[in-house]
């Protein structure tokens, strides 16, 4: 039901939201509704994000320890969240795609119980004045967008994305363009990005530019492009992997995150931040995905350089790379 409730992209004109034009349009804009929901989600500990400690530490620094009233509203938020979207990030997606908090709540009302909707609305209203201080008129995402749109590295990112499109062998213009919903996160705790359909929640730290986010943009666009691969082709690749050996099926499941990681944190980050890039750094927060991405990185990089498509031959090379000497 929540999927049906998702509104069309709202806010500024599409031209104002355009972030990259080639090889397909990618839109980006600061999102107060997404930021508010994600912030409370982090305070409540129900976010899928890796930066829950960052938001909690910032809250304590700015506002002190949560009061009994704060905790009561967080419990209402948790109950409403569980009732509305017990599986995945659909609820966050509503806020990412809405122009205002009120718009998001209006979209949710027809698919909510009265108790869930009221609990969510009250929690948002309670914490909103404090989040407006954190949001600070969107100065962090606005500064990032202004800097990124002037960045001389934009053509290089567009060229890399064009190669990633060839790698997946799809036509991205056949689908609605991906959209970046930008929100701030304090420094010192890393960042979090989360794809919900064709919308990407992207946390930005103060002072970050295009080079800092290129890896995440490529990673999440890899997920978007994989979603456009016809189901029959995906099933064929999965069946091929499972037929290689006992570990093939498990390896292919890891590829869902490991290939975007090899493309983003491997290829893109090495291109945009060569002085700090390293195989020894953590590329992904899950150890098995991180290890897999680093092992298949040479095969993925070679395929990208040669203009090859993700097919059975590449799946074979990637799985064999997992069996080689460590």
Segment 264-284, tens digit of pLDDT: 999 999 999 999 999 999 999
CA-only gyration radius of the chain, Å: 20
Q: What token pair was written down for 308?
A: 């090859």
Percentage of residues in the chain having pLDDT higher than 70: 94
Picking from 158, 138, 141, 174, the residue whose alpha carbon sits closest to that of residue 26 is 158
Break the chain into its structural domains and give their ranges: 230-326
Question: Which pLDDT does position 88 carry in this prediction?
Answer: 52
Decide if pLDDT at 326 tops 60.
no
Percentage of residues in the chain having pLDDT higher than 90: 82
Q: Provide mean pLDDT across the span 170-193.
A: 92
Model pLDDT for residues 284-324, shown as the tens digit of each residue: 989 999 999 999 999 999 999 999 999 999 999 999 998 86
Continuous H helices in 6-113: 14-17, 32-44, 52-63, 68-84, 90-96, 101-108
Decide if pLDDT at 60 tops 80.
yes
CA distances from 172 to 7, 153, 215, 229 (A): 21, 22, 19, 10
Q: Is 191 helix (H, G, I), strand (E, B) or coil?
A: coil
Q: What is the mean pLDDT of the chain?
A: 91
Q: Provide mean pLDDT across the span 30-43.
A: 97
Pair 148, 259: CB distance under 8 Å: no
Q: Is the dihedral of CA 76, 79, 83, 88 positive or negative?
A: positive
| DSSP state at residue 178 | P
Question: Which pLDDT does position 245 carry in this prediction?
Answer: 76
Contacting residues for 98 by C-beta, under 8 A, at least 6 apart: 7, 10, 33, 104, 107
Contacting residues for 167 by C-beta, under 8 A, at least 6 apart: 225, 263, 300, 303, 304, 308, 309, 310
Q: Provide mean pLDDT across the span 147-153.
A: 96
Decide if pLDDT at 139 tops 90.
yes
DSSP 274-313: TTT--TTS-SSSSHHHHHHHHHHHHHHHHHHHTT--SSHH
CA distances from 22 to 148, 162, 191, 209 (A): 15, 8, 26, 19
Q: Provide mean pLDDT across the span 178-199.
A: 90
Pair 200, 179: CB distance under 8 Å: yes
DSSP 201-238: EEEE-TT--HHHHHHHHHHHHHHHHHHTS-HHHHHHHH
Q: What token pair was written down for 223?
A: 């997920």
Decide if pLDDT at 68 tops 70.
yes
Question: Which pLDDT does position 217 carry in this prediction?
Answer: 95
Contacting residues for 35 by C-beta, under 8 A, at least 6 apart: 131, 134, 135, 183, 184
Model pLDDT for residues 236-247, shown as the tens digit of each residue: 999 999 998 778
Q: Provide mean pLDDT across the span 82-110.
A: 87
Decide if pLDDT at 3 tops 90.
no
Q: Are strands 18-20 and 26-30 parallel, antiparallel or unpaired?
A: antiparallel
Decide if pLDDT at 25 tops 70.
yes
Decide if pLDDT at 89 tops 80.
no
Q: Provide mean pLDDT across the span 145-158.
A: 96
Decide if pLDDT at 115 tops 80.
yes
Choice between 300 and 177, residue whose per-residue pLDDT is larger:
300
Question: Which pLDDT does position 323 carry in this prediction?
Answer: 80
Q: Is 270 helix (H, G, I), strand (E, B) or coil?
A: helix
Q: What token pair was written down for 170?
A: 């799809």
Query: Which of 86-90, 190-194, 209-213 has the lowest average pLDDT?
Result: 86-90
Decide if pLDDT at 14 tops 60.
no
Question: Which pLDDT does position 59 carry in this prediction?
Answer: 97
Picking from 173, 72, 62, the residue whose alpha carbon sits closest to that of residue 126 is 72
Decide if pLDDT at 100 tops 60.
yes
CB-hemisphere CA count at 13 Å for 144?
A: 26
Query: d(Cα 297, Cα 165) in Å, to the nearest integer?
Result: 17
Model pLDDT for residues 218-232, shown as the tens digit of each residue: 999 999 999 999 999
């Amino acid at each position: 039901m929540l999927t049906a409730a998702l509104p069309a992209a709202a806010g500024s004109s599409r031209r104002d939201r355009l972030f990259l034009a080639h090889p397909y349009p990618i839109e980006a804009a600061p999102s107060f509704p997404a930021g508010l929901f994600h912030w409370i989600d982090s305070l409540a500990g129900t976010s899928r994000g890796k930066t829950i400690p960052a938001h909690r530490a910032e809250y304590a620094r700015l506002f002190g320890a949560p009061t009994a009233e704060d905790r009561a509203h967080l419990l209402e938020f948790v109950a409403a969240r569980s009732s509305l979207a017990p599986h995945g990030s659909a609820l966050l997606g509503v806020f990412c795609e809405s122009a205002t908090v009120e718009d998001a709540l209006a979209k949710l009302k027809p698919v909510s119980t009265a108790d869930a909707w009221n609990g969510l609305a009250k929690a948002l209203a309670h914490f909103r004045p404090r989040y407006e201080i954190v949001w600070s008129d969107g100065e962090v995402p606005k500064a990032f967008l202004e800097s990124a749109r002037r960045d001389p590295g934009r053509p290089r990112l567009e060229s890399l994305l064009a190669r990633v499109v060839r790698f997946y062998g799809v036509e991205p213009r056949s689908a609605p363009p991906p959209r970046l919903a930008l929100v701030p996160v304090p420094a010192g705790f890393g960042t979090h990005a989360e794809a919900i359909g064709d919308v990407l929640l992207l946390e930005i730290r103060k002072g970050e530019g295009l080079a800092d986010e290129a890896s995440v943009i490529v990673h999440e666009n890899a997920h978007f492009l994989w979603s456009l691969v016809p189901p029959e082709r995906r099933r064929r690749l999965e069946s091929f992997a499972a037929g290689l050996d006992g570990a093939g099926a498990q390896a292919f499941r890891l590829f869902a995150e490991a290939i975007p990681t090899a493309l983003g944190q491997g290829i893109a980050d090495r291109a945009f931040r060569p002085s700090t890039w390293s195989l020894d750094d953590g590329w992904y927060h899950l150890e098995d995905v991180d290890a897999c991405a680093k092992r298949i990185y040479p095969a993925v990089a070679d395929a990208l350089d040669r203009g090859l498509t993700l097919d059975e031959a590449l799946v074979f090379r990637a799985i064999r790379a997992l069996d080689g000497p460590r």
